[in-house]
Amino acid sequence: MADLVAAELRRSITVTMKHLSASSLMPASQGNLSARDRDTGNVVITPHAYPYEDMTPDDLVVLDPDGEQIGGRLDPSYDALLHVGVYKARPEVFAVLHTEPPYVNAFGALGRDILPVTTTGLKSANGTIPIMPFRHRRDEAFTTEMLEVMGDSHGVVWQNHGLLVVADTVENAAERTIGIEFNAQVMHLALRAGEPQTLERVGADMIVA
Ligand SMILES: [Zn+2]
């Protein structure tokens, strides 16, 4: 029988979440990460409320493209159906990562969009990271609204909660998340001294906006 998902995806998810957790991009067992297998279309995702330091590739949960659990002994992340909804709506996306980085969250709490003030930020975010107003329930309507707010950006902030980033690979989702948090930190520092200049992309070039 063919594997439900590639072993490499399981390894990437486990290694990435241990690294991001150790880098303080989310507290304790918060956050979640999934990938879509390019051959089977199945989604492999971190389990609900499970410590990252203990997590092994076998602890991950596998869902079919409609979100039914077809592998793993643990419950999937609370946001599993949100991940599945993103994959259904965005065929080019193969990794979805939710973290709770402090500088990103500070701008989220203020309801203030995160502007590209660094080249890393512009590349990571593909422009501005918008803030989605706080919603208690993360249901199907939440996913629809979130994708609308996100638009062409690689990420969106859930106000008073955290960041969601999409990418073509697990590694790129992690790199974008780290870049977006770095950019938010620089924006915070710059705002303490004045009004930062921002960047924008014009074709393949970056220019000062
Ligand atoms: Zn969260």
Query: What residue segments make up the domains of the chain, in order of their start?
Result: 7-206
pLDDT value of position 93: 98
Range 7-206 classified under CATH 3.40.50.10860? no
Tell me the average pLDDT across 166-179. Answer: 98
pLDDT score recorded for residue 201: 86
Alpha carbon of 30 to ligand 1 centroid (Å): 5
pLDDT band, very low/low/confident/very high, at 203 (cuts 50, 70, 90): confident
Mean pLDDT of the chain: 96
CA distance 55 to 194: 43
**Ligand 1: centre distance to CA 109 (Å):** 14
4 Cα to the center of ligand 1, angstroms? 26
CA distance 76 to 70: 11
- Residues with Cβ within 8 Å of residue 110, at least 6 apart in sequence: none
pLDDT value at residue 205 = 86
Distances (CA, A) of 158 to 56, 71, 172, 197: 28, 29, 20, 25
Q: At 62, is the pLDDT very low, low, confident or very high (cuts 50, 70, 90)?
A: very high
- Side-chain-side CA neighbours of 206 within 13 Å: the count stands at 14
Helix (H), strand (E) at residue 185: helix 170-193
In the chain, % of residues over pLDDT 70 = 99
For the residues 39-64, what does the mean pLDDT come to? 97
CA of 197 to the centre of ligand 1 (A): 31
Task: List the end-to-end C-alpha distance of the chain, in Å, as a whole number.
Answer: 54
